């Protein structure tokens, strides 16, 4: 199982970034990382990918900078009473816990002095955008991040499918199903390297997909892999017993190169 994210190693941040054809520089790999991660976040929580200079910093620093933007400490002026606009009950424990373990002085300043529940773990879903970001890089005890790359890839493919007409799209991990005009198409995204000259290495998923065409309520099946220098065109594979076929599809991340 491939992972992406970051970890602490010898007091330094070790980044584990996705590698893809035509996305080579460290800057672009970070941009590709956040392009994919943004698909899990609400619009307000997303990292802006338009400014290339943002990606000069490591991914943890980019996360922290975005979280900081929701807590403008310079606006806290005790001499001027301020009206509480909204209380986030669910998020408050996460905020305080995250601030307490942070290395940033301004975050520790904001942290509460409570003794926290030892079994505290962030939830999967929060309303506040800062809490969404914190939950992604914080396990309740330490700040780190390791996400399943297959899951991230599937989410990216799912969110970038055009929504139009009567098209119905569902993410039934590890599959994506598209229903339109009475036809159901299954996409099976996998972050694996596909070499057209060595398809035998993908025999298991190819055979299973061909069988699923006969046993599952689907009409078409596409196996989706990252595009590589050797894999740039669709590959058709036909079932040995009839005319049904599956397609192996190269997925390009060149949109990460756009400014």
Rounded Cα distance, 236 and 220, in Å: 12
Q: Looking at the predicted structure, is the pLDDT value of residue 34 above 70? A: yes
3-state secondary structure the chain: CCEEEEEEECCEEEEECCCECCECCHHHHHHHHHHHHHHHCCHHHCCCCCCHHHHHCCHHHHHHHHHHCCCCHHHCCCCCCCCCCCCCHHHHHHHHHHHHHCCCHHHHHHCCCCCCCCCCCCCCCCCCHHHHHHHHHECCCCECEEEEHHHHHHHHHHHCCCCCCCCEEEEECCEEEEEECCEEEEEEECCCCCCHHHHHHHHHHHHHHHHHHHHCCCCEEEEEEECCCCCCCCEEEECCCCCCEEEEEEECCHHHHCC
146 and 130 in contact (C-beta within 8 Å)? no
Q: What was the pLDDT predicted at 78? A: 58
Domains and CATH numbers, the chain: 3-148 (no CATH), 161-257 (3.40.1350)
Q: What was the pLDDT predicted at 149? A: 95
| pLDDT mean across residues, the chain | 88
CA 136 to chain centre: 10
Average pLDDT over residues 158-180: 94
Tens-digit pLDDT profile for residues 180-193: 999 999 999 999 99
Average pLDDT over residues 134-151: 93
Higher pLDDT, 107 or 212: 212
Q: Looking at the predicted structure, is the pLDDT value of residue 161 above 90? A: yes
Q: Which residues pair with 172 in a beta bridge?
A: 175
111 and 100 in contact (C-beta within 8 Å)? yes
Tens-digit pLDDT profile for residues 74-130: 666 656 665 655 667 778 888 888 988 888 888 887 776 666 666 777 887 898 999
Higher pLDDT, 258 or 111: 111
């Amino acid at each position: 199982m491939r992972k992406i994210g970051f970890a602490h190693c010898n007091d330094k941040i070790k980044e584990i970034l996705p590698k893809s054809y035509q996305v080579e520089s460290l800057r672009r790999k970070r941009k590709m990382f956040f392009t994919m991660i943004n698909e899990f976040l609400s619009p307000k929580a997303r990292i802006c990918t338009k400014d290339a200079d943002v990606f000069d910093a490591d991914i943890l620093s980019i996360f922290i900078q975005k979280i900081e933007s929701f807590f403008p400490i310079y606006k806290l002026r005790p001499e001027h009473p301020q009206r509480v606009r909204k209380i986030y009950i669910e998020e408050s424990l996460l905020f305080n816990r995250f601030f307490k373990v942070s290395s940033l002085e301004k975050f520790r300043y904001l942290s509460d002095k409570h003794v926290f529940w030892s079994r505290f773990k962030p939830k999967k879903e929060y309303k506040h955008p800062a809490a969404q970001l914190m939950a992604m890089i914080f396990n309740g005890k330490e700040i780190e991040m390791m996400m399943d790359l297959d899951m991230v890839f599937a989410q990216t493919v799912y969110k970038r499918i055009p929504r139009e007409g009567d098209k119905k799209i569902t993410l039934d991990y590890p599959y994506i199903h598209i229903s339109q005009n009475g036809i159901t198409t299954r996409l099976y995204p996998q972050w694996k390297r596909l070499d057209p000259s060595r398809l035998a290495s993908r025999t298991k998923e190819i055979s299973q997909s061909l069988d699923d065409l006969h046993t599952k309520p689907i009409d078409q099946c596409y196996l989706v892999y990252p595009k590589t220098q050797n894999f740039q065109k669709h590959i058709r594979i036909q079932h040995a017993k009839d005319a049904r076929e599956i397609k192996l599809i190269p997925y390009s991340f060149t949109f990460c190169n756009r400014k």
